[in-house]
Amino acid sequence: MTESPLNPVTPTNPVGLLVVDKPEGPTSMDICRVVKACLRRGGAPKSVKVGHGGTLDPLATGVVVVLIGRAATRLCDEVMAGEKRYIAEVDLSCRSSTDDREGEKTEISVIRAPELAEVTAACAPFVGTIEQVPPAHSAIWVDGQRAYKLARAGAKPEMKARPVEIHAIEILEYVYPRLVLDVRCGKGTYIRSLARDVGMALGVGGMLAGLRRTAVGAFSIEDAVPLNDVPSPLLQEHLRPLPGAGAESSEN
């Protein structure tokens, strides 16, 4: 019997990767739920495994690598370990309780706006292996609780510095107070913290006003499908094969 292109036969255990361009608003897990629903409409079972290779904050946009099937979700640590690349918009005119535009803002007045050469010099020490203090509103565990939960409850969690790797920082645009950076970094780097710390180094404000992730390891924004364009139903033919895998379309 010949398959109709309108009614393709789908595997019951799909496996592969889907690179999604996340819009502002949903969480990374929201993206996974959308993908899982599309898979189920394509014939996948309720038990189909769907995860992601690195969280992206709701206010951020860009690359989320969705892992589909048990074999794919086992690659989570491998995908997360890849280099990340971000386009970060920094507002040097204010600071924020969350180090981004979601928190309570404090305007910072300056006598003189920093020159481009000063901004370049301030960014330079943050390239390499540095000690970075995560934002209080982050998912870091502090005394058995998530830091953001303590912060939202009015507590001031003690955030300890930890080593992170920043491979490169390039200034794309600068007209005070707007600074746009292209940042390449390793796992665990908080771009919100970088925005805060660059501002502190300049003696001005420093708040992340916008963030777009343009790459996770070998997966770039050019590979990504906008969330609204994810096929529904999502079939095996729409998935990328696992790194190093053949063209298998289902798991045994």
Taking the C-alpha atoms of residue 35 and residue 48, their distance in angstroms, rounded to an integer, is 11
User: β-strand 162-175 against 128-132: which pairing, if any?
Assistant: antiparallel
Taking the C-alpha atoms of residue 195 and residue 204, their distance in angstroms, rounded to an integer, is 11
Exposed/middle/buried for 191, CB within 10 Å: 0-12, 13-18, 19+? buried
Instruction: Quickly tell me which residue has 């969705």 as its tokens.
Output: 66
Is 57 known to be catalytic? Answer: yes
Structure tokens at 133: 């203090």
Which one of 21, 57, 91, 99 is the catalytic residue? 57
What residues act catalytically?
Answer: 57
